[in-house]
Amino acid sequence: MQETSQNQPPWHASYPPGISDQAPGIETQTICALLEKAVEKHGTATALSAMGRNISYLELDRHTQAVAGWLLEQGFRPGDHIAVMLPNVLAHPIAYLGIARAGMTAVCLNPLYTIAEVSHAFRSSPVRAVIVFEPMAHIVQQARVGSDAHTVVVVSPGAMLGWKKPLVNLVARHLRGLVPWYLREGTVAWDLVLNFWSAHGTAVSPTPQDHAVMLYSGGTTGQPKGVPLTHAGLTCNVAQQDTWISSSLDPDRTYTLMLAIPLYHILGFGSLLFCIFRGGKAVLVMNPRDQKQFVREWARHQVTSFPGVNTLFASLLSFEAFSRLDFAALRFALGAGMPVQERTAQQWKSVTGCEITEGYGLTETGLVACNRIGASRIGSVGLPIPGVDISLRGDGGETLGLADTGEICIRGGAVLRGYWASAENTTAFTEDGFFKTGDIGTFDADGFLRLVDRKKEMIISSGFKIYPSEVERVLLAHPEVVECAVAPAIDLRAGEIPVAYVVSKEDSLTADELLNFCEAKLVAYKRPRRIIFLSELPKSSVGKILRRQLQEKS
- Sequential DSSP letters for 149-172: --EEEEE-TTTT-GGGHHHHHHHH
What is the rounded CA–CA span in Å between residue 120 and residue 294? 33
Q: How many CB atoms lie within 10 A of CB 290?
A: 12
Question: Residue 4: its pLDDT value, please?
Answer: 45
What string of DSSP letters covers 459-527? EEETTEEE-HHHHHHHHHTSTTEEEEEEEEEEETTTEEEEEEEEEESSTT--HHHHHHHHHTTS-GGGS
Q: Decide: 390 and 384 in contact? Cβ < 8 Å.
A: yes
* DSSP classification of residue 182: P
CA angle 468, 473, 479 (to 5 degrees): 135
**pTM recorded for the entire structure:** 0.85
Q: Decide: 331 and 249 in contact? Cβ < 8 Å.
A: yes
Q: Is 22 helix (H, G, I), strand (E, B) or coil?
A: coil
Question: Residue 3: its pLDDT value, please?
Answer: 45
CA neighbor of 456 nearest in space, from 367, 394, 545, 548: 548
Question: Residue 438: its pLDDT value, please?
Answer: 87
* DSSP classification of residue 247: G
Question: Residue 178: its pLDDT value, please?
Answer: 46
Q: Is 422 helix (H, G, I), strand (E, B) or coil?
A: coil
Q: Decide: 416 and 365 in contact? Cβ < 8 Å.
A: yes
Q: Residue 506: how many CA atoms within 13 Å on its side-chain side?
A: 8
First-to-final CA distance of the chain? 40
Each residue of 408-436: b (16+ CB within 10 Å) or e?
Answer: bbbbbbbbbeebbebeeeeebbbeeebbb
Question: Residue 314: its pLDDT value, please?
Answer: 87
> What CA–CA distances, in Å, run from 516 to 81, 238, 406, 461, 527?
55, 48, 31, 20, 10
Strands (E), 51-138: 53-56, 81-85, 105-108, 127-133
CA 2 to chain centre: 29
For the chain, 554 residues long, give each residue's pLDDT as a single digit of tens.
444 445 678 888 888 888 877 777 777 899 999 999 999 999 999 999 999 999 999 999 999 999 999 999 999 999 999 999 999 999 999 999 999 999 999 999 989 888 888 888 898 888 999 999 998 888 898 899 888 999 999 999 888 888 778 777 776 666 554 445 555 566 899 999 999 876 555 668 899 999 999 998 753 345 678 999 999 999 999 999 999 988 888 888 899 999 999 999 999 999 999 999 999 999 999 998 899 999 999 999 999 999 998 888 988 999 999 999 999 999 999 998 767 888 889 999 999 999 999 999 999 999 999 998 888 888 899 999 999 999 999 988 899 998 899 999 999 999 999 999 887 788 889 999 999 998 889 999 999 999 887 777 888 887 677 888 889 989 999 999 999 999 998 887 777 899 999 999 989 999 999 999 998 788 888 999 999 999 999 988 777 888 888 876 65
Q: Decide: 294 and 285 in contact? Cβ < 8 Å.
A: yes
Q: Is the peptide bond before 126 cis (omega within 30 degrees of 0)?
A: yes
> What CA–CA distances, in Å, run from 69 to 74, 192, 200, 298?
9, 12, 8, 34
Q: Decide: 452 and 405 in contact? Cβ < 8 Å.
A: yes
